[in-house]
Chains A and B, each alone.
Chain A
Amino acid sequence: MKNIGLIAILRWLVLIVCIFFWHKAQAQIQPKPIINASIQGQIIDANTKVGIPGVTVRLEAVTHSVRTDDQGHFSFITGQTLPAILHISSLGYESLQTTFNQGDFEILLKPELSNLEEVVVVGYGSQRRADIIGAVASVPKLVLNQSLSSFDQALKGAVAGVQVTQTSGQPGGGVSIRVRGGASIQGGNEPLYVIDGFPLYSEAQGTGVNAGASINPLAAFDMGEVEQIEILKDAAATAIYGSRGANGVILVTTKKGRAGPTQINYSNRFGQQQIARKIPLLNASEFALLRNEALFDSNPALGPFQYLSQEAIGDLGEGTNWQNEAFRKAGIQQQQLSLGGSSERIQYYLSGNYFLQDGILRNTDFDRLGMRANISVQATERLKIETNLAIQRTKSTIAPGGIINALLLMPPTATIYEQDGSYTLRNPFENIFSNPIASLLETINKTASTNIFGTSYAQYRLLKGLHAKVLFGLDAKSQNDSYYTPSSIYEGASNNGNAALGSRSYYSWLNENTLTYDVNWRNHHVDVLLGFTQQEARNEYFNAGAQNFVTDELTVHSLQSGSTLIRPNSDAYDWVLHSYLSRINYNYDNRYYLSASVRRDGSSRFGPNNKFGIFPSIALSWRASNESFFQQYLPGINDLKFRTSYGRTGNLEIGQYQSLATLNTLNYLIGGNILTGFTPQRLGNPTLGWETTTQYDLGFDIAFAKNKVQFSFDTYYKRTTDLLLNVEIPWTSGFSSALQNFGTVSNRGYEFQLRINPLSGSLQWTSDLNFSVNRNRVLALGNESESYIIGNYIVQVGQPLGTFYGAKTDGVLQLGEEQSQGVFTGNAEPAAGDRRYVDSNNDGLFNVASDRTIIGNAQPDFTIGFSNSLRYRNFELSFLLYASVGNEVINENNQNLEMFSGQQNASAAALDRWTPQNPSNEIPRAKLDPAPVFSDRYVEDASFLRLRSVELQYRFPVSVNRLLHIKQLSVQLSAQNLWTWTNYSGFDPEVTSGSNVQPGRDAGIYPIAKSFHAGVAITF
């Protein structure tokens, strides 16, 4: 009933729209014959009222066609009789057919609502969106318009089924991406990135020198260079990447020159970032009271004022606010100059970019200088040559590890400097950590890298429809790391300055040889792909260091000046991947689609008995809307397609040499000399093989209301078997674990993507909503074991990955309960005010080891991304809302802050702590020596709804542009993370350690900033 009503409404809407256009069309026809006329005009975007360059304008009946210039103007002289019929078409716009009579005229072209005609990049090729069978999501353009250090950060909330979490707020820091849930426990879970055809796994690699968060390798690429991003999710799309497809594939295409004459673009954005929130802590006097209480509790004989007298406390005031001292408002700027265009044979895009981001922690930053040349030459009619080459230099000052922890825990009664102006070295009390401000300001902790990244190919048309393509790619990186702690700070005080230098060189080369054949015969459309590819990588690093410097002046630059040399270290590895691939896409009459692919991968990383793996896929689709009967019955539906796919993909991210029985170096002193020895490092496993993911996908795409509503639905089931698992083995074997193919994890879920265009008049509104649900579950583990515990996590059959394992709290022990209930505190000598825990195994007492239980999970129930773009005249407002619901986080920062030991600062919750006068049943007492127990107290709901980005752009009208002799000018104001709704008490709910088994762990992570930007973009 409901459906019929809806269809009726849709029909009615369609009718109204048809009438409207028919009217318009009628009004234009006024025939008046003229011969040898000159036709000229301008093609203008109906919304922005800006001329559209590169539009094809074709006269009907003759093949004569021209393209508009960069202002949208065109003209041609024709011998045709007027009125002539013009066909006007441009990618991304609705095609138009109009009749030309006379004079100079303007044609308004409407942006196309349907994206079915757009070209989507897929593995080893591209397809029309309408022809795609697999689950391939295109990232909305507006999210690529943010000012971020790397494009992967922009994927937050952008498409369904892709969960993106930042692992650090360090400028240039990394993100962790899970496409349809994490499948691997100990292998890599990050997707494969394919940038201009070059596959790379984004994994930060160091030289063993730096401390703190690592820099994201993808931060080498400027966001402004990225033209489009596609995310391949199901096996139909990813199986062509075989052993690297199991975690999804992210295809990145950089910008190419647009049709038409040279365009020069310059854009500049600058902004300011600040911390979104600080953690409420005790001030100096509050802390002093806490410490007095803890000391008194420990040794009552010495009285209640063992730390400071009441009077001295009165004089303390606020003390040092270490968060205020460490965080700052930090600048960010992004500049890009590009030049692009195309002539008949050559398409070119050249750009230079500069990005500088200061961190919200003092003395942290990231900057990048990059340039790119993307050139494509149609050398002959048959031969096309293309090169996409980028060179980048990135530099970063990294926040030393442990800084966040230290600046939260440093007592407010401590000062940054001593009386004599030197740094206070460390926490004056029993828990040793260094003065965070001294560490931040004085530590040298830098990494710099120079990258060359590019692909080149030649494609040759052997026969009609038959193309051979040979591609070579190179990813070369040279990295220099440095680290110095001067003798003036705690870290360097005991060794009189500690310097270390590290150097790394990495390269990976790629060769792909593919043959493609396209043929159309009647209603049969076939394209076939065959190929052989090989990729190889080599990494080498070394580091060296010295200590005991006479002066701190030379820092890292003169290791020989240190009197103690640190044993240097070096390592090297390579890996090789050989692949054979094939794919066939077939469609009959654009109604019935079939796609099948097989890839055979051989990887050096696996055991001699298991080098090769075969990864097939098959997909079927029915485009019902192209059936002749369809329009008869459901005329309101513009497009309807059903899809299903099955396939197998693999994961090989286990590092190198894991199948071999390798030895490691161990030294010992014999006769006073250091002798080198070797000892077995692990048990070899010659059968070590692939982790295999079998994925089923079922979905449909529908568009109706003249393509104003487009909806996609996918449901999937992914089962990953033969997990590469460091299976725990008895220590009696001499080893702790052995990497084996064991265990099974499943991910099942569904995804919606809704794109609507509610308004398309002078106020235009497009809106993208995505919704995804994923359920992860461990189905089996190695060696018949049911579970294993890693820190505060448990990996257990039947539970999802990221399950928290700890004690359950049960209030606070009250006076008089010591005898009867004291056994539930876990303390040998329980006292009122101690936290009580639940005796989960009912053995009559609480014991951490045996009473732990499952107390939460880091996996979200669902995530939502909602992006919107509103246009009115020259204004465009866009914003992206992003929500994750049901995910929990272990707030380890808070666990440290709730020790109430008086040895380190405490959270403001300490103000409500248990005292005989304040018998709190929630917050325990001050205690000098509390046992740290991980409990549900530190598990928090980290659901959030966040205004990820908002941008207001104003395009100056053509009149202004003419006045300034430029083609286009726009200004914009934007903000990121402007507003976040969450109950999470830490810095930011969007936090993860990036680890597979320990996601959702907030332990001293550099917080994410909120930021405001202003920018200008000019086209000459």
Chain B
Amino acid sequence: MVSLSPFNYLNMIYSRYLISFIISIGMLSCSKLTEQPDALLISEQFYRNGEEATAAVTANYSKLYESGQSLYNSLLQIGIEMATDDYEAGPRARNAHVRAISGLTHDASNDRMEELWRQSYDAIYAANNGVEKIEAIEATAISEELRQRLIAELKFLRALHYFNLVRFFGDVPLLLNTNSSLEAQALRVSKSPEAEVYTQIIADLTAAQSLPSQEAFGLANAGRATSGAARALLAKVYLTQRNYTAAAAKALEVINSREYRLFDHFSEVFEVAHKNTVEHIFSAQFQGNAGYQGNSLAGRSAPTDIPGINGDYADALHLEGGLYESFEAADTRRDVTFVSALVSPVNGQLYQLSRPQFHKYYDESVIGNPYQSSKNLPIIRYAEVLLIYAEALNEQLSGPSAAAYEALNQVRSRAGISSLNPGHNQLVFRELVLEERRKELVFEYQRWFDLVRQGPEYYMEKLHAAGKTLAAPRHIHFPTPQRELNINPNLQQHPDWINN
């Protein structure tokens, strides 16, 4: 037995109280089990007023190219344009999936197909979510005008993504509401026929025509969808649907609104100073070197071998297609679109390239860092509206009218080439318009769409002529991603892609 000094004894009494005190403190829990993240918003904390609704719509625009190889920041180039007569996987495009598309050996497990599908539906979910949440905001927290405008912007974006999807894959699931249930039945959606999807696209774009005009929005809102953008895109939808009367009428509406005109010089179209003005109707917005995102097509197409350029040369011109040679000598578009020699910023030497490379988005202000290009990617611009008008009139009237020539010639003369004289038949004129589109809209994610809407024979003819002999009728669509088929038994593969 250890003897206790009086001090120890006191200690003992104290500590007895001390311990009971500490225990009782300890039993009180000082923390809560409910999670309240400091650094994250949760859905319930948001979509409460006009400002937050606007921020939600901002994020929807961001879905045009969320991150990495994203829809309007190279995925459409890699995912679809490689499968045309004008483009191929460049030497630096090492990825087997990309090379497969370029060589038309892609299949349902191709990861770029998966990304096209995934990113489009991701954007559609965000748009549907935005519409639902903004509709639910109390009237006191948001003006009705802003509410309707934001919903119309979302509908424009939703229509754009569905328009892409239906062209990529044919029949696709048509979802207009969000689903928050994780039940299998709610997740396993079925495809809707193309026609139904188009009906919805037209409905959404029709609603989006109520948006303010570009002028009404003002430059502070540059980048948003406008009434003009809705009309122009609607014209393109009608054209794709071969509803030529409606297409011509809608294109004419845009033309007659006098909101837009062509730049005087083709080079101005891609000048940073002229972003979102004059000819530009709707574009994906880029800003390099601002902690933001540059247009990566600039880097992907820039040469690798010239010191100090630091390009990647992954998106290359498919020489056999003859695009470069098809430009007339006087055509000012060629040298804006392509580069065949570049000066090294390091040693000042001029380097000749072994073949022309795309140059549309190359930003001279960020030499050596081409991925930081601030050039926008046009989704629809006035020149295309003119070409839609010309094409639609030619089809509607079974031959080119004066107005059709006039529209086409506006584009040609701006490019510095001679106007077409009347006298062509419908077939020839159709081909002339398509050729004009091909040269005007190089590297703007248009060629594959233009080829496939002419049907499989046309697509195959062009690709076979360009030496891509594996082109087959099924290639006017992409296969529904195998991953989706695997986890959703209600989906079927596109009929052309079954057994392929």
Contact = CB atoms under 8 A, between A and B. Distances in A.
Interface of A: 344, 379-383, 430-432, 458, 460, 468, 470, 493-495, 511-513, 532, 534, 536, 564-567, 570-574, 576, 578, 602-605, 608, 611, 656-657, 659-672, 674-681, 683-685, 727-736, 738, 740, 783-785, 788, 828, 847-850, 929, 931-932
Contact of B33 (A603, A669, A932): A603
Interface string B75-93: 0000000000000000110
Contact of A667 (B4, B32, B39, B58): B58
B31 A534 contact: yes
B41 A495 contact: no
Contacts of A729: 182, 187, 487
Contact of B31 (A536, A727, A848): A536
A349 to B, nearest CB: 23
B483 interface: yes
B100 to A, nearest CB: 8
A728 B481 CA distance: 14
A783 B184 contact: yes
A680 B45 CA distance: 12
A76 B210 CA distance: 106
A336 to B, nearest CB: 34
Contacts of A678: 41, 46, 52, 55-56, 59
B107 A849 contact: yes
B108 interface: yes
9 contacts: A380-B9, A383-B15, A432-B92, A494-B369, A572-B37, A573-B37, A675-B58, A731-B117, A731-B118
Contacts of B46: 663, 678
A681 B37 CA distance: 14
A353 to B, nearest CB: 32
B30 A534 contact: yes
Contacts of A685: 182
Contact of B121 (A468, A470, A732): A732
Contacts of B368: 494
Determine the interface band of chain B, counting residues with CB < 8 A from chain A: 35 or more
Given A566-B291, A670-B223, A576 B33 contact: yes
A847 B107 contact: yes
Nearest to B481: A731
A96 to B, nearest CB: 27
B188 interface: yes
B212 interface: no
A732 B56 contact: no
A460 B103 contact: no
A732 B488 contact: yes
A677 B56 contact: yes
A468 B187 contact: no
B291 A668 contact: no
A667 B291 CA distance: 11
Given A666-B66, A734-B124, 20 more contacts: A344-B2, A380-B11, A381-B4, A383-B15, A460-B15, A564-B289, A572-B37, A605-B35, A659-B35, A660-B43, A662-B43, A663-B42, A668-B223, A670-B221, A672-B275, A683-B182, A684-B42, A730-B487, A732-B189, A848-B109
B19 interface: yes
Nearest to A608: B34
A613 to B, nearest CB: 12
A382 B12 contact: yes
Contacts of B291: 564-567, 674
Contacts of B173: 732
B336 to A, nearest CB: 23
Given A430-B91, A564-B289, A660-B37, A731 B121 contact: yes
Which one of A657, A664, A685, A734 has the greatest number of beta carbons of chain B within 10 Å? Answer: A734
B329 interface: no
Interface string B94-132: 101001100101011100001001100110111011000
B340 to A, nearest CB: 20
Interface stretch (B21-29, B316-324, B403-411, B453-461): B21-29
Contacts of B49: none
A528 to B, nearest CB: 16
Contact of A383 (B11, B107, B310): B11
B120 to A, nearest CB: 9
Contacts of B11: 379-380, 383
A801 B323 CA distance: 51
Interface in B170-212: 173, 175, 178-180, 182, 184, 187-189
Nearest to B11: A380
Contact of B35 (A604, A666, A679): A604
Given A677-B58, A732-B189, A657 B37 contact: yes
B334 interface: no
B129 A458 contact: no
Interface string B1-22: 0101000110110011011001
A731 B219 contact: no
B107 A734 contact: no
Contacts of A657: 35, 37, 40, 42
Nearest to A728: B487
B32 A576 contact: yes
Contact of B99 (A611, A660, A668, A929): A929
Contacts, number: 261
Given A495-B369, A604-B33, A663-B40, A468 B23 contact: yes
B103 A670 contact: no
Contacts of B218: 671
B58 A604 contact: no
Contacts of A383: 11-12, 15, 19
Interface string B279-294: 0000001110111100
Contacts of B57: 677
B28 to A, nearest CB: 9
A1012 B447 CA distance: 65
B39 A573 contact: yes
Contacts of A672: 219, 222, 275, 287
B66 A470 contact: no
B164 interface: no
Closest 7 CB pairs of A and B: A734-B125, A677-B59, A677-B58, A849-B109, A679-B59, A567-B291, A669-B285
B188 A730 contact: yes
B360 interface: no
Contact of B222 (A565, A667, A670, A683): A670
Contacts of B108: 849
A534 B290 CA distance: 45
A733 B219 CA distance: 35
A734 B178 contact: yes
B444 interface: no
A381 B16 CA distance: 12
A670 B61 contact: yes
Contact of A572 (B39, B100, B219): B39
Contacts of A680: 43, 125-126, 129
A828 B39 CA distance: 50
A583 to B, nearest CB: 18
A848 B105 CA distance: 11
Contacts of A784: 184
A679 B26 contact: no
Given A494-B369, A678-B56, A730-B488, A849 B96 contact: no
A379 B218 CA distance: 79
A660 B9 CA distance: 55
B257 interface: no
Contacts of B16: 382, 460
Given A513-B26, A656-B35, A669-B292, A849 B55 contact: no
B175 A676 contact: no
A549 B109 CA distance: 44
B146 interface: no
Interface string B123-145: 01110110000000000000000
B271 interface: no
B19 A676 contact: no
A1008 B358 CA distance: 46
B19 A677 contact: no
